[in-house]
Amino acid sequence: MKTVRVDLDDRSYPIYIGNDVLGAEHLAQHIPGRQVLVVTNETIAPLYLERTLAELSDFQCDAVLLPDGERYKTLETAGRIYDRLLESRMDRQVTLVALGGGVVGDITGFVAATYQRGVHFVQIPTTLLAQVDSSVGGKTGVNHPLGKNMIGAFYQPRCVIADTRTLATLPERELQAGIAEVVKYGLIRDAAFLDWLEAHMSALLARDPEALTYAIEQSCRHKAEVVAADEREAGQRALLNLGHTFGHAIETHTGYSEWLHGEAVGTGMCMAARLSAELGWISEADCARTERIVAAAGLPTRPPRMASERFLELMAVDKKAIGGKIRLVLLKALGHAVVTQDFDPSALDRVLAEYA
């Protein structure tokens, strides 16, 4: 088992990574009160809910099942959790346990941040994407019809349990979507990890436990370092959004249903690389290499058919935008990203037109 620590003063917490770490009694030791509400979804419940509840037999425990899918990441779905908490008379000492992928984790974290003005919270991510990204760092929230993650809070869990066993049942497409975020860490800050990923992509796709554990550990280490330096995204944390501004536009345009988040991010990273090349910041060869790695993970490298104006309109509501100006994460080299609004907007227009 590997442990990565997220350093945030009195909000520091461990991430446990490995095979069957869920069964290693980490869960109970991070629950301070008597009451627990496990939040999961209809897909995950039959697979891992019983197992999780067995670890929680010492507590007064209840579970709520949400519908599965990004389109349910709404204030209305959060409302169902509030309802259950109140119907079950859960008090301010309750711990919410998020058992599932990013949607379950984000909604549950938001409810934990806001139920009675904040209760305890533990993440048990069951998708690769959630294990390497969304469960770590305290970003919680729900979508609004006009934009993704527009309603939320920064709120840290008490621990994260990333059990690679839960990846055995993960659909192929979701595994690939998770790899998009893994590739992201290589692209923004670790060229050597990018080399490793190129060499081990087929091992990851074959769910080799050692390769997965290494990839998750490196990803969490990178994320923990960035988050510890900039918890509330005043500066460099925004680097973690490589590909996300393009990706969110794709997700919003397609109604959060056709494209998985990681797929949109994979394509978004290719678009960011393409724009970086158009600006002359990276070579055409590096741009092509980025697309090759994304494609090797089985991810799409081109957006759906969307007019440039539509793309720009959706990108303008991105949280990184300031005063209406689009800010993007772009590449100065593979392994070195920057957050910037200082780029020639006509280069962006050309890139969008090329894809449209």
Query: What would the two tokens of residue 260 be?
Result: 């998985």
Nearest to 201 by CA among 217, 215, 219, 220: 215
Q: Are 300 and 321 in contact (CB under 8 A)?
A: no
Q: Is 305 in the site for a copy of itself (CB under 8 A)?
A: no
Q: Is 311 in the site for a copy of itself (CB under 8 A)?
A: no
Query: What would the two tokens of residue 153 be?
Result: 């809070």
Q: Residue 181 catalytic?
A: yes
Q: Could you tell me which stretch among 19-27, 265-273, 288-296, 315-323 binds a copy of itself (CB under 8 A)?
A: 315-323
Min. distance of Cβ 237 from a copy of itself in angstroms? 11
* Residues 10-69 within binding reach of a copy of itself (CB under 8 A): 34
Q: Are 162 and 168 in contact (CB under 8 A)?
A: no
Choose which of 153, 205, 312, 347 interacts with a copy of itself (CB under 8 A): 153
Q: Could you tell me which stretch among 44-52, 87-95, 211-219, 287-295 binds a copy of itself (CB under 8 A)?
A: 87-95
Q: How far out from the chain centre does Cα 117 lie?
A: 24
Min. distance of Cβ 183 from a copy of itself in angstroms? 25
Min. distance of Cβ 139 from a copy of itself in angstroms? 7
Q: Could you tell me which stretch among 46-54, 150-158, 258-266, 276-284 binds a copy of itself (CB under 8 A)?
A: 150-158
What distance in Å separates the CA atoms of residue 19 and residue 178, rounded to the nearest whole number?
Answer: 18
Q: Is 147 in the site for a copy of itself (CB under 8 A)?
A: yes
Q: Is 324 in the site for a copy of itself (CB under 8 A)?
A: yes
Residue 93 amino acid letter = Q
Q: Is 114 in the site for a copy of itself (CB under 8 A)?
A: yes
Please, how many CA atoms are within 13 Å of residue 309, restricted to the half-sphere of its CB? 0
Q: Residue 253 catalytic?
A: no
Q: Is 310 in the site for a copy of itself (CB under 8 A)?
A: no
Q: Residue 261 catalytic?
A: yes
What distance in Å separates the CA atoms of residue 130 and residue 139, rounded to the nearest whole number?
Answer: 12
C-alpha distance from residue 210 to each of 12, 165, 232, 315 (Å) = 27, 12, 33, 38
Q: Could you tell me which stretch among 143-151, 244-252, 262-270, 346-354 binds a copy of itself (CB under 8 A)?
A: 143-151
Largest CA distance in the chain: 61
Catalytic residue among 233, 251, 263, 278: 233
Q: Which string of DSSP letters, residue by residue, matches 218-262?
A: HHHHHHHHHHHH-TT-SSGGGGGGTTHHHHHHHHHHTTTTSS-HH
- 8-state DSSP, 58: T
Nearer to a copy of itself, 137 or 335 (CB): 137
Min. distance of Cβ 91 from a copy of itself in angstroms? 5
Catalytic residue among 184, 189, 221, 248: 248
Helices 284-296 and 172-189: angle between axes, nearest 10 degrees: 150
Q: Residue 325 catalytic?
A: no
**Active site (catalytic) residues:** 117, 139, 181, 223, 233, 237, 241, 244, 248, 261
Contact set with a copy of itself (CB under 8 A): 34, 75, 79, 82-83, 86-87, 89, 91-93, 110, 113-118, 139, 141, 144, 146-147, 149-154, 232-233, 316-317, 319-324
